[in-house]
Structure 1
């Protein structure tokens, strides 16, 4: 008897997107509570307390590829269910744990849960949807990730106003998502069948995926200058006096504008992907990063700042779904979990590299303005390989496959 393929419903899509909302919020949700945590544990250094934010990303970078391989072996939905459960339990563990080492252990395991969510949601989308529909859904996923940071970080800040422990309760949203995943999702019917019928040419595409991972790494390294260095840039601008000198409020507002631009481009990504070649999109991704970063470096007014953050948001909004769609297009389905695990690793390594790479740049540039201009020029250089690849693809091939521009 042939198994009937599972057809995702609108509820399936909803809970895939809700799951994706948790990918980028690993440490961000409890960030507003850090000063209160420092007061609660006065014997712990500030650098140790800051690991509450950075440790989940480190865990994702270390375990993402392995967890992705597990999802290929044991099933995407099973690993997603386990990952959401881990996310909920360990994410909220700070509410009842009483020591920094215990909290940090929980944060590391939380990162493993987020790695599992990243791998499985991306690969399930690739299984459930095809062609232009898949491109649209991947765009929605990128939009949901950006929206999740905005909503969940704000909620965490409101809870931190009650107490530092209450901030960790935001992770209990995972209970609702866990129930939704169990009710609305099923393992793709073709998964076991395809695994048994592997052919010699269906190998794991190491080199093509490596190019995709490097692209994501470079793009995320540029993008994460925003949450790490943009507030310092803005604090040194005279124009921030419009906000009564409250640079934190101004930073939050402009970062929110960038997030909105990113989410909007994610929603529109399906139309973009169908009309333009992957290399065209990536060329403009880094051009937008370059324009945005240089605009911030030269900015003397808040209008110029707004233009800069919108351009950077646009770049991030088209980068994420383009990489996910690229991975889905070149990877045999039996390896999608492993490939998506590599995506989560590259994503988080980019975050870490951003904080390290800016140190020598700032040492040479001296000021934040000069540093942003320098990084903007680097972004323009990053665009060149994709422009050259596009020209080679356009003029160096006599036949171009039909269908989505992202499936070539």
Structure 2
């Protein structure tokens, strides 16, 4: 006899969201302190210092698939709890480490912890919730990621005002999350694949469960487009924590709080996070009304508009508009990719699929800093760099318009495309 499935409570949802806060900005929480770290280690180049933010992404890219497979094998809760513990210990290590190489090692280990958090939180949401509720909770997850930007970046900026070392203490938030995971979550029941096949064969109506059962094996090829889109979106988005503080540091209008431009940068990154969070809260309604390709087109237009505005910005008003548009882009990108993955992945492969999600997410983050180096060398200034990447985002938006037009020739219902229950169409 199979055990009764675990019913998540409001406390479960709360700690899932607190865990999700670490997904997007866990590696970049100390981004506002990068200029100060550059001053503390003058022999290290700006590109080397930016590895403090991007090295966790490299670790996630290397280990994400393996941790996803491990969570499928031994259990998602075990991997999540262990990952949050690693996140807390390795993340705060920069507070007491005294050399750049040692800090790099700590940041790489931090990335392993974040990889486990990404794989397990997303797959737990898909396992715990169905249909419209799932889309709504995935939107809440995107909102939590945006809220994580607000809390981590603003707090990082405030702590960096004390000292660059103090910024690393923000990772001690993991202690509270670790306790909440142990108290409020249980391992979801693994699906009976044979019974599900039989049931889906008997039913003539498509449901949100049967959407994920379209594939009997791991759907690597169908997932590839989602992974590539996520890679490009996060390559663009992660220009913000790695390069935006340097743009602000060279902007005279940003010195409204004195010479502590780290706090100013943190505040604007927090504004971007607020925009992302608001989009996440309403994502369930957006997903119900629009095709996923339409949503991704709007997301890329947000990135393109925001990055181009940063390229031309001479006032804080323009900067504020730019970071809001970039936040809109990220707030739409993340839940759309997650619902896409959930729609085509059988539950027994969710950990592995979310491992691929974490890999593409963080290769994009790591590649962001590397891609910026030759572009800055070519265009000479941070403003021109943001303008160049904004043009790339707009080109990608045009490509998705083409994909959307082609998709209209297919007859797959919109609700099935977005992993939502089908409704009668008039």
Length-normalised TM-score, structure 2: 0.84
Taking a change above 3 Å as real, the CA distance of residues 260 and 390 of structure 1, as seen in their structure-2 partners, is same
Are residue 406 (structure 1) and residue 418 (structure 2) matched? yes
Query: Is this contact kept in 1: 2:122–2:354, CA < 8 A?
Result: yes
Query: 1:329 Cα shift?
Result: 0.9
Q: Name the residue aligned to 2:144.
A: 144
Q: Name the residue aligned to 2:2.
A: 2
Query: 1:166 Cα shift?
Result: 5.0
Are residue 323 (structure 1) and residue 337 (structure 2) matched? yes
Distance 1:195 1:102 in 2: 50
Distance 2:41 2:337 in 1: 41
Q: Name the residue aligned to 2:61.
A: 61
Superposed CA RMSD in Å reads 3.2
Distance 1:217 1:358 in 2: 15
* Alignment partner of 1:359 out of 338, 349, 373: 373
Query: Is this contact kept in 2: 1:59–1:111, CA < 8 A?
Result: yes
Q: Name the residue aligned to 1:212.
A: 226
Query: 1:59 Cα shift?
Result: 0.9
Q: Name the residue aligned to 1:28.
A: 28
Query: 1:83 Cα shift?
Result: 1.1
Query: Is this contact kept in 1: 2:50–2:369, CA < 8 A?
Result: no
Taking a change above 3 Å as real, the CA distance of residues 31 and 286 of structure 1, as seen in their structure-2 partners, is closer
Query: 1:108 Cα shift?
Result: 2.0
Query: 1:50 Cα shift?
Result: 5.5
Query: Is this contact kept in 2: 1:240–1:246, CA < 8 A?
Result: no
Query: Is this contact kept in 2: 1:6–1:187, CA < 8 A?
Result: yes
Distance 1:53 1:315 in 2: 21
Taking a change above 3 Å as real, the CA distance of residues 230 and 131 of structure 1, as seen in their structure-2 partners, is same
Length-normalised TM-score, structure 1: 0.87
Query: Is this contact kept in 2: 1:258–1:312, CA < 8 A?
Result: yes
* Alignment partner of 2:303 out of 272, 289, 313: 289
Query: 1:144 Cα shift?
Result: 1.0
Query: 1:402 Cα shift?
Result: 6.1
User: Can you give the 5+ residue segments of structure 1 that lack an aligned partner in the other structure?
Assistant: none
Are residue 226 (structure 1) and residue 232 (structure 2) matched? no
Deviates more, 1:379-388 or 1:23-32: 23-32
Deviates more, 1:82-91 or 1:48-57: 48-57
Query: 1:298 Cα shift?
Result: 3.0
1:7-406 equivalences under 5 Å are 7-31=7-31, 51-95=51-95, 101-159=101-159, 166-191=166-191, 193-194=192-193, 201-235=215-249, 237=251, 239-240=253-254, 247-394=261-408, 396-397=409-410, 399-401=411-413, 403=415, 405-406=417-418
Query: Is this contact kept in 2: 1:5–1:190, CA < 8 A?
Result: no
